[in-house]
Amino acid sequence: MSRRTLSTFVLFVFILALAAPALAQQSGTVYVRVELWDVKREQWPAFVKNFEKYDQPVYEKLFKEGVINEWGIDGATLHNPEGYTHGVWHSSTSMEAFEKVQDAFDAAYKALGEKEQARVEAEFAGMLIKHRDYMIRQDFQKAKGVSLHKAYYYEASTAVNRGQGDNYVSYWNEYIKPTYQKLMDEGTIVAYGRSREEITTDAEDRRTSWYVVGDLTAHQKVQAALSQTWERLTGEQQRARWASIWEFATPGTYREYMSRLVHWAIKEQ
């Protein structure tokens, strides 16, 4: 992967300083460009410093100008041999904005000069094992307007059976969304949403439910609240809920993921 864009694009999603958080409902679809990077273990600090030096200033300028409404970098908290160690992402309500982002990074790269470009290319290439991109559609998203340097992103995803996307959405709206919204109103959750691939690069139709919290204590509180949505049901109601899940969920595809956000900024959504 060329360093041509200086690690241009992003994933997801984090909390020590909450700068006057405000809440607003997302009025339309949000698109997220995600870059996933598998970085050599000894290069993890250098990868973040590289981002802070070359990418972060560009993202901050685009964010201030309103070209993008979110940007961030995170690192996985639970690693596996097939996974990635870091994610970088930005989002917008318009896909046309991604061209402006590309142009901004191209200009920043050109400004380095040929000698510095070659040095940066070689340095960055030496950090990497593998890389891949996603274009994500946030079908629903809510967030407080914040700029953070520590937090946690959690997601639970499953592949959905063909033709069952609407059933997944109905389930999420009935059982998941009310819990997330209550916890956001209480200050436990900073952002949450429901997403899927906009440009499908995997064979399965994977749907993702996610949230952002400030620490792992808050994460435990969210998980406890989700468990309580089951515990207050009767046995018959629990069986009916499971039956509704198996209508849309493809067996064996459920996955969870967590990362720690290094830098993250998002506007009210």
Q: Where are the domains of the chain?
A: 3-266
Rg (CA), the chain: 19
Judged against a pLDDT cut of 50, whether residue 36 lies above it is answered with yes
Band of residue 203 on the pLDDT scale cut at 50, 70, 90: confident
Residue with tokens 């996974």: 83
Judged against a pLDDT cut of 50, whether residue 157 lies above it is answered with yes
CA–CA distance, 215 with 190 (Å, rounded to integer): 11
CA–CA distance, 162 with 243 (Å, rounded to integer): 17
Check if the beta carbon of residue 21 is closer than 8 Å to that of residue 145.
yes
Band of residue 199 on the pLDDT scale cut at 50, 70, 90: very high
pLDDT per position as a tens digit, 81-119? 889 999 999 999 999 999 999 999 999 999 999 999 999
Query: Higher pLDDT residue, 16 or 53?
Result: 53
Cβ contacts of 94-99, under 8 Å, gap ≥ 24: 94/31, 95/31, 97/67, 97/68, 98/9, 98/31, 98/33
31: CB partners within 8 A, 6+ apart: 91, 92, 93, 94, 95, 98, 135, 136, 137, 138, 198
The CATH number of 3-266, from 3.40.50.300, 3.50.50.60, 3.30.70.100, 3.30.360.10, is 3.30.70.100
For CA atoms 214, 217, 222, 223, give the dihedral sign. positive
CA–CA distance, 85 with 44 (Å, rounded to integer): 8
Average pLDDT over residues 109-136: 96
Judged against a pLDDT cut of 70, whether residue 129 lies above it is answered with yes
CA–CA distance, 72 with 263 (Å, rounded to integer): 5
CA–CA distance, 34 with 46 (Å, rounded to integer): 20
CA–CA distance, 4 with 64 (Å, rounded to integer): 23
Judged against a pLDDT cut of 70, whether residue 39 lies above it is answered with yes
Average pLDDT over residues 159-184: 97
Which residues are paired to 71 by β-bridges? 90, 265
Q: Mean pLDDT, the chain, as a whole number?
A: 90
Helix (H) or strand (E) holding 50: helix 44-50
- Specify the pLDDT at position 202: 85
Average pLDDT over residues 34-61: 97
Average pLDDT over residues 189-215: 95
- Specify the pLDDT at position 19: 33
